[in-house]
Amino acid sequence: MKDIITINECSALRFIPENQYAGWQKKAIEALKLLESGQGKGSDFLGWIGLPSGTPQELIDQIKNICNDWQKDVELVVVIGIGGSYLGAKAVIEALSHSFSFWLSAAGPQIVFAGQNISEDYLAELDDLMKTRSIACIVISKSGTTTEPAIAFRLIKQHILGRYGKEETKRRIVAITDKSRGALRHMADRQEYRSFVIPDNVGGRFSVLTPVGLLPIALAGIDIEDLIAGALNMEHVTAEKKADNPAVKYAALRNALYSKGKKIELLVNFHPKLHYVTEWWKQLFGESEGKEHKGIFPAGVDFTTDLHSMGQYIQDGERHLFETVISVASANRSLTIPEDLEDADGLNYLAGKHIDECNKMAELGTCLAHVDGGVPNLRIEIPSLNAYNLGALLYFFQKACGISGYILGVNPFDQEGVEAYKKYMFALLNRPGFGTRGEPDANHR
Ligand code: PA5
């Protein structure tokens, strides 16, 4: 069987002293063993490791029932959530949908997101859109108390209730939350919304293969069984305690580069559809590793677009970067550059070539130039963009993240730092129990 994910490290190894790399590989294998033993930091949150092999058919069937139900008369599904309760679904839907699906007549409902910001304009404009469509809503929050989705849900719930009445509202709202705790669980039970449980042992940013990701992804018409099957393949591949396990390799390489002062990792794609995979990855690695004043800063660029904005810095700015390219072997569509009799633009030398061939040469040329400029380059190669390969890619990143966090010595599964801004925000909004202080201490500004 051909590997779905291959790590090409050729253009990174030259930045790592030969006698040191084996040591990083050894550390990565030890970190994998610790992760799989369930004895490491944060081991209450390792439920994601076995999700692909443990997804019950009953869950898939429940998800399909909601898809069939809403298929009849729902034109727009508003998915409410933030961070790990939003980015996984957004990443998969963007990667696998037609780039212009919103403007084309689609078979199923359109998906839009809310609760991932507190913008008055965004929510008011969403209300404009909702008024023109038959709508339903999925509200996702593990804690059930996060402010951003709670504000959006209050507005959207009232819109649905006012428009459809109490009984029909039960059919048009689905809650995904903790099994027993939090305001959302209590609301769902009291109002009799259909609901799904986020397992206790799966944190937000590792939850794309729970109903958090699976329900919105299925509603977008994507085959979630293929997505899970790809992840399952990686569940097996990344369990191998050996240096050519791709998750071990990636974790070893990025930590080796970090130890050489490469403190920023740029996740690079050459396909605009992958923009939100990068956003999901940024959260996964940033929230998992940025602790105890340590951790690679995860950033992202969309090439070739950003070569015309960030290219100068990457080529010639401070040398604290390395690049990890998600390299997609084949395009899904076929389009060649036409011949032009006048050749006024001088492009006839490309006539007959596939657009993807030009993109590939841009990818290779960028790698050569950036490596010349002192930027190490890793490549994560996948065959094409489909549900199976994407499921594999997401699972691979999760596993590599757990290994990498353990190499760094942090707890990759908590996120206490996320709470800090909330305390100030609540105090400033005069939330009961959060003090009356109007602004942070001078020392903390
Ligand atoms: O990964 C995480 O734990 C976070 O990003 C959460 O998913 C995010 O803060 C949203 O939390 P909740 O699902 O409780 O609303």
- The 10s digit of each residue's pLDDT in 23-53 is 999 999 999 999 999 999 999 999 999 999 9
Tell me the CA distances in angstroms from 246 to 22, 52, 96, 217, 395, one per residue in order: 15, 18, 23, 26, 11
Q: Are 30 and 251 in contact (CB under 8 A)?
A: no
* 198 — pLDDT class (breaks 50, 70, 90): very high
Using alpha carbons, select from 233, 219, 168 the residue that is nearest to residue 194.
168
- Position 108 pLDDT exceeds 90: no
Please name the amino acid found at residue 389: N
Backbone angles phi, psi at 415, to 5 degrees: -155, 50
Q: Are 260 and 13 in contact (CB under 8 A)?
A: no
- The pLDDT, as a whole number, for residue 390 is 98
**DSSP code of residue 101:** G
How high does pLDDT run on average in the chain?
Answer: 95
Q: What is the mean pLDDT of residues 364-380?
A: 97
Centre of ligand 1 from the C-alpha of residue 400, in Å: 20
Secondary structure (3-state) at 167:
helix
Q: Are 211 and 88 in contact (CB under 8 A)?
A: no
- Position 105 pLDDT exceeds 80: no
Q: Are 326 and 280 in contact (CB under 8 A)?
A: no
* 195 — pLDDT class (breaks 50, 70, 90): very high
- The pLDDT, as a whole number, for residue 444 is 44
Strands 377-382 and 6-8, by their bridges, are: antiparallel
Domains, in order of start, for the chain:
6-41+241-411 (3.40.50.10490), 48-227 (3.40.50.10490)
- The pLDDT, as a whole number, for residue 352 is 98
Tell me the CA distances in angstroms from 384 to 274, 380, 393, one per residue in order: 12, 12, 11
pLDDT in tens, 263-305: 999 999 999 999 999 999 999 999 999 999 999 999 999 999 9
CA pair distance 317, 314, nearest whole angstrom? 6
- Position 437 pLDDT exceeds 90: no
- Position 445 pLDDT exceeds 70: no
Centre of ligand 1 from the C-alpha of residue 51, in Å: 18
Strand arrangement of the beta sheet that strand 377-382 belongs to? 6-8, 377-382, 321-328, 264-269, 297-302
pLDDT in tens, 205-263: 999 999 999 999 999 999 999 999 999 999 999 999 999 999 999 999 999 999 999 99
What is the position in ligand 1's atom list of the atom closest to the CA of 203? 3
CA pair distance 320, 314, nearest whole angstrom? 10
What is the position in ligand 1's atom list of the atom closest to the CA of 287? 1
User: Could you give the residue numbers annotated as active site?
Assistant: 287, 308, 422
Please name the amino acid found at residue 276: Y
Secondary structure (3-state) at 187:
helix
3-state helix, strand, coil in the chain (%, to 5): 55, 15, 30
- The pLDDT, as a whole number, for residue 442 is 42
Centre of ligand 1 from the C-alpha of residue 117, in Å: 13
- The pLDDT, as a whole number, for residue 435 is 76
Instruction: List, chain by chain if needed, residues with CB within 6 Å of any ligand 1 atom.
Output: 82-85, 141-143, 146, 149, 203-205, 287, 415, 418
Residue reference for tokens 């760094």: 408
51 alpha-carbon distance from chain centroid:
17
Q: Are 46 and 79 in contact (CB under 8 A)?
A: no
- The pLDDT, as a whole number, for residue 441 is 47
Secondary structure (3-state) at 74:
coil
CA pair distance 62, 18, nearest whole angstrom? 52
Half-sphere exposure (Cβ direction) of 63: Cα atoms closer than 13 Å: 25
pLDDT in tens, 399-436: 999 999 999 999 999 988 888 898 899 999 999 988 76
Q: Are 262 and 322 in contact (CB under 8 A)?
A: yes
- The pLDDT, as a whole number, for residue 102 is 86
